[in-house]
Structure 1
Amino acid sequence: MASRPPPRFVVRKHDDAGLRRRQLWLGLIWLGTLLLTGLVVGLLSRHANPAAIDHRQQRAMSAQIEDLKQQVANVQRDAQVNEVATRSLRVTLTQREEEISGLRANLGFYARLVGGDTQRQGLKLQEVKLEPISGSHGWNLMLSLTQNAKRSDEITGNVTVSVEGLRGDKVVQLDWAALGDATQKDGLPFRLMYFQQLHGTIVLPANFRPMRLHIGIQSAGDAPITRTVAWEDALSGNIITAQGDHDAQP
């Protein structure tokens, strides 16, 4: 009897439990891969994020610093503009005060000269002005004498000046002989009908601090006139209201 060839197909019973085991292992492997990938990404992120955060913070701080620098520059520029404007205003105010002072002096001079409806007025010290001589202890002195137009007679005489001040701790008074030119030992001569400006030079000692001027006016035939003027007032050159100021009467 001839032998039968083996069958080409073998029918076996399906193993459901083995299939489930293989699927479980595949699932575990896939889950492990996910976990491993997440762990690697987490480690990389943990090392990379601080640098990125620091970079962002640096950029934000740099922007704030630049903004603050700009604000400081704006404030400094505004302060400079205000300072320039304040200096300009002070110069303008000083000029206006000088102009007003000059106008007042001119007004007083012409009012004094014309006399208006007032009675005849005699000789008066209208103005005193001092100017320092650069590089020395000398001072240029200018005096203005006036009488109003209603008094038409000519007046002649001399003006002498003495300076009161401090020498050390002592108050001393330097008379005209110690201050003036030897060629004008009798004082500054004047001859006027309405007004005249007198010019002279005085020299002060190096250790002397002046405080006030004493001005003596002696006209022919009249009583002497004495005026006291503060040194600072004489420096300003403003019209003077001197102590003891009164007119020599005709």
Structure 2
Amino acid sequence: MNHRPPSRVQIRLPGHAAPGPRRPWLLVAVGVAVLLLVGLLGFWLGRPGGEVGDTLQGTQKRADALQQELVELRQRQATLEASDRISRAANNEVQASLAERDEEIAGLRADVAFYERLVGATSQRKGLNTHSIEFRSEAAGTYQYTVVLTQNLNRGAISQGQMRFTVEGVKNGRLATVSWDDLHQRSKVPGQEYSFRYFQQLSGSVILPSDFTPQRVKVTLGSGTGGSTQVFDWKQAGAPATNGE
């Protein structure tokens, strides 16, 4: 039997290189290098001194500053709102006070004009005086009276005391007087208090007997027995005639 040596002739196709020996250590080296590069890149990106780290730190500082500014602005807004409420409340109080003062001034001006009409500059100076008394009949059978007291002798002085009046007339064909108590249908009725510097207006209601015809009114000012008295005609007092008068 003949043994032929193995043939060393190899057939190579066009375009194919001859296969070389396998090198697995090269793949391992490449993988390690890639891992090292990834680790270095991550370390470089994450370290504080890096560009990205500086950017992150700057952004965080800016966010903290904006948050603090937002808190301060909110506190300032709350302070301004509270101040605005206080200002509006104070303004309302001032407006109300001004309205009251305007009303008071208007009342004082009206009083001065009324007083000037009562006692003009050419009028004779008088002490405590009953300037006028008027009566108006009411639906209930009563009479509402209005008495105006004045004084222009002692300017600035305060006149104080009590006012009473009685009504004289005719009852059952005879002269009669209706006292202050009878006018109020009570006993021991105190006089009407007055206290003024230049003038004062007093008012109230009284009752006259149904069978009484008034003719005159006597007004007494002072403490009572020692006061001054002035007499007014009933017709001049402005009341309508009663009982056919």
TM-score range, shorter chain: 0.3 to 0.5
**RCO higher in 1 or 2 (8 Å CA, sep ≥ 6)?**
1
The TM-score normalised by the length of structure 2 is 0.46
Larger radius of gyration: 2
